[in-house]
Amino acid sequence: MAFRQSQRNQQMLLPPSIEEFVAPDDPVRAYDAFVDALDWRGLGIEADPYQAGCPAYPPTIMLKILVYGYAYGIRSSRKLERALGHNLAFIWLAGGLKPDFKTIARFRRQNRQALKQVLRDCARLCLKLGVIAGNTLFVDGSKFRANAGNNQSWTAEQCEEHLRQIDQRIEEILHECERVDTQEAPEPSLVHLEKELAQQRGRQERIATALQQLQEEDLRRVNITDPDCAQMRGRQGAHAGYNSQIVVDEQHGLIVQADVVSDQNDRQQFAPQIAAAAATTGKTPDVAGADNGYYSGEELEPMTAVATQVLVPARQPAAPRQPFAKGRFTYVAEENVYVCPAGQRLTYRRTDAERQRHEYQIDGATCCACPHYQECTRGRNGRRVVRYFNEDLRDRLRQQFELPASREVYRRRQETAELPFGHLKRNLGAGQFLLRGLSGVRAEMSLLASCFNMARLIGLFGVAGLVAKLAAL
Please state, rounded to an integer, the average pLDDT across all residues of the chain.
87
Tell me the pLDDT tens digit for each residue of 173-202.
777 766 666 665 555 566 676 777 777 777
Q: What spatial distance separates the first Cα and last Cα of the chain, rounded to whole Å?
A: 54
| Average pLDDT for 300-321 | 79
Fold assignment, 132-146+233-313+398-442: Nucleotidyltransferase; domain 5 (3.30.420)
Report which residue type is found at 273: Q
pLDDT computed for residue 141 by the predictor: 94
Note whether 245 and 260 are within 8 A (CB).
yes
Report which residue type is found at 452: F
For the whole model, what pTM was predicted?
A: 0.85
Per the rule left: phi > 0, alpha: psi between -120 and 50, beta: everything else, 388 is beta
> In terms of pLDDT, which residue wins out, 51 or 290?
290
On the question of pLDDT at 280 being above 70, the answer is yes
Beta-strand relationship, 337-339 and 345-352 = antiparallel
> Is residue 48 exposed (0-12), middle (13-18) or buried (19+ Cβ within 10 Å)?
exposed
Tell me the pLDDT tens digit for each residue of 207-235.
777 777 767 676 677 777 888 888 888 77
CB proximity list for 267: less than 8 A, separation 6 or greater: 293, 294, 295, 296, 299
Note whether 275 and 285 are within 8 A (CB).
no
Tell me the pLDDT tens digit for each residue of 1-21.
678 877 888 777 777 788 888
On the question of pLDDT at 392 being above 60, the answer is yes
pLDDT computed for residue 318 by the predictor: 47
> In terms of pLDDT, which residue wins out, 221 or 281?
281
Sketch the domain layout of the chain as residue ranges: 18-115, 132-146+233-313+398-442, 156-219, 326-382
